[in-house]
């Protein structure tokens, strides 16, 4: 076959495979957009575990009417200037909305804070309708229906309603832990309904992980060469049978970073049995120029310019917290 450029809708569907894996990834992208828009209240509603409907409503700044159609076009973003190393927002690739629009029915309805009416656009199979006037008091509502309806091969890979719903809940809990100042509401199945009122970090952690964790956790606050580590880590006796309750954030972004998780593990190596896992909520605050979040489209992996420094900070800070509270045998020979 001769070399030819792929049609746009095919390019979008390929990109969608990287950004949108399942309903939970749609929720993640839409909630991150709401946070980037400065929302203080975010409501997530789902039906069918998110397979038939995901709706995210926020009270953020909204989108100027003349930018609505840009928002759903590939590589269009209001967040990235020209320096991809100076990213402070959660999004920056301008890929989420067009990707979702290429594999689902997408409605984007928004009321710009500086305008005086709401408008909406619809996207289906990559085709766009609107903008046209719509009714909305404030902020933005994004509705995603029938995810993968036009891509049966992808649809087949989705799990049952309950498993997808659980994944959605996990995403909301993770993001909510990183933003205690924002009110989150999740409604779907009875099992997944969740309301998280805004408050300080302790309250949010107690609401998400249970008050028992806070009672069994040590506060962490340390800094090394401009990199800051804060959060809470469980005392050694509060270990779990799996590592699911380990929440790590880099500049407010939830990540699943192998190096950070292994550093957490290492911090407990001599106080916790191999088959037990600490519970922790850790925030790494670092100059955006020292971390690359553009490693993976879902932005779950990060690359630090100096991983050794960050690793040392995590291990050192937690060991010290365990040590000063007498929970860890001192390595200085006192034991």
Return the residues of window 221-280 that contact ligand ADP according to CB under 6 A. none
Spell out, one character per residue from 81 to 100, where the chain touches Mg ion: x when CB under 5 A holds, - when not.
----------x----x----
Q: Which residues of 155-181 are buried (b: 16+ CB within 10 A; e: fewer)?
A: eeebeebeebbbbbbebbbbbbbbbbe
CB closer to Mg ion, 37 vs 286 = 37
Size, binding site for ligand ADP by CB under 6 A: 21
From 72-80, 191-199, 216-224, 230-238, give the range in contact with ligand ADP by CB under 6 A: 72-80
Cα–chain center distance at 224: 26
Among the listed residues 22, 28, 51, 93, the single contact to ligand ADP using CB under 6 A: 93
Round to whole Å and give the CA distance between 133 and 121.
9
- Establish whether the linkage from the previous residue to 131 is cis, with ω within 30° of 0: yes
Q: What minimum distance in Å lies between the beta carbon of 77 and ligand ADP?
A: 3
Round to whole Å and give the CA distance between 112 and 130.
16
CB closer to ligand ADP, 64 vs 307 = 64
Contacts of 17 by beta carbon, 8 Å cutoff, 6+ apart:
154
Among the listed residues 20, 23, 25, 33, the single contact to ligand ADP using CB under 6 A: 33
From 71-79, 161-169, 247-255, 318-326, give the range in contact with ligand ADP by CB under 6 A: 71-79
Tokens describing residue 281: 């909520």
Nearest to 299 by CA among 118, 115, 92: 92
* Binding of residue 26 to Mg ion (CB under 5 A): no
Q: What minimum distance in Å lies between the beta carbon of 209 and ligand ADP?
A: 27
* Binding of residue 278 to Mg ion (CB under 5 A): no
Q: What minimum distance in Å lies between the beta carbon of 56 and ligand ADP?
A: 7
Size, binding site for Mg ion by CB under 5 A: 3
Angle formed by the axes of helices 23-36 and 161-178, nearest 10°: 20
Which residue shows structure tokens 């037990």? Answer: 276
Tokens describing residue 139: 């902020």
Residues at the contact surface with ligand ADP, assessed by CB under 6 A: 29, 33-34, 37, 58, 60-63, 71, 77-79, 91-97, 140
């Amino acid at each position: 076959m001769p070399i030819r450029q792929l049609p746009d809708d095919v390019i979008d569907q390929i990109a969608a495979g990287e950004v949108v894996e399942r309903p939970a990834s749609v929720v993640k992208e839409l909630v991150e957009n709401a946070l980037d828009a400065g929302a203080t209240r975010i409501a997530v509603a789902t039906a069918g575990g998110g397979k038939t409907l995901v709706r995210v409503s926020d009270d953020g700044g909204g989108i100027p009417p003349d930018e609505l159609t840009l928002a759903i076009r590939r590589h269009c973003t209001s967040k990235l200037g020209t320096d991809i190393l100076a990213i402070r927002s959660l999004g920056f690739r301008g890929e989420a909305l067009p990707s979702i629009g290429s594999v689902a029915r997408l409605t984007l309805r928004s009321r710009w804070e500086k305008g005086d009416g709401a408008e909406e656009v619809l996207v289906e199979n990559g085709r766009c309708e609107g903008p046209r006037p719509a009714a909305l008091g404030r902020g933005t509502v994004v509705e995603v229906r029938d995810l993968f309806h036009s891509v049966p091969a992808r649809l087949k890979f989705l799990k049952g309603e309950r498993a997808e719903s659980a994944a959605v809940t996990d995403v909301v809990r993770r993001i909510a832990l990183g933003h205690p100042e924002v009110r989150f509401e999740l409604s779907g199945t009875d099992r997944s309904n969740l309301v998280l009122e805004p408050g300080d970090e302790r309250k949010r952690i107690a609401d998400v992980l249970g008050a028992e964790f806070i009672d069994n956790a040590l506060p962490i606050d340390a800094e090394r060469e401009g990199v800051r580590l804060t959060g809470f880590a469980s005392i050694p006796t509060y270990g779990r049978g799996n590592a699911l309750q380990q929440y790590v954030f880099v500049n407010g972004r939830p990540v699943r970073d192998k190096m950070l998780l292994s550093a957490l593990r290492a911090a407990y190596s001599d106080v916790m049995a191999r088959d037990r896992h600490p519970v922790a909520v850790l925030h790494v605050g670092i100059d955006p120029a020292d971390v690359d979040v553009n490693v993976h489209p879902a932005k779950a992996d990060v690359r630090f310019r100096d991983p050794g420094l960050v690793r040392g900070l995590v291990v050192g800070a937690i060991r010290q917290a365990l040590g000063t509270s007498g929970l860890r045998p001192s390595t200085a020979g006192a034991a």
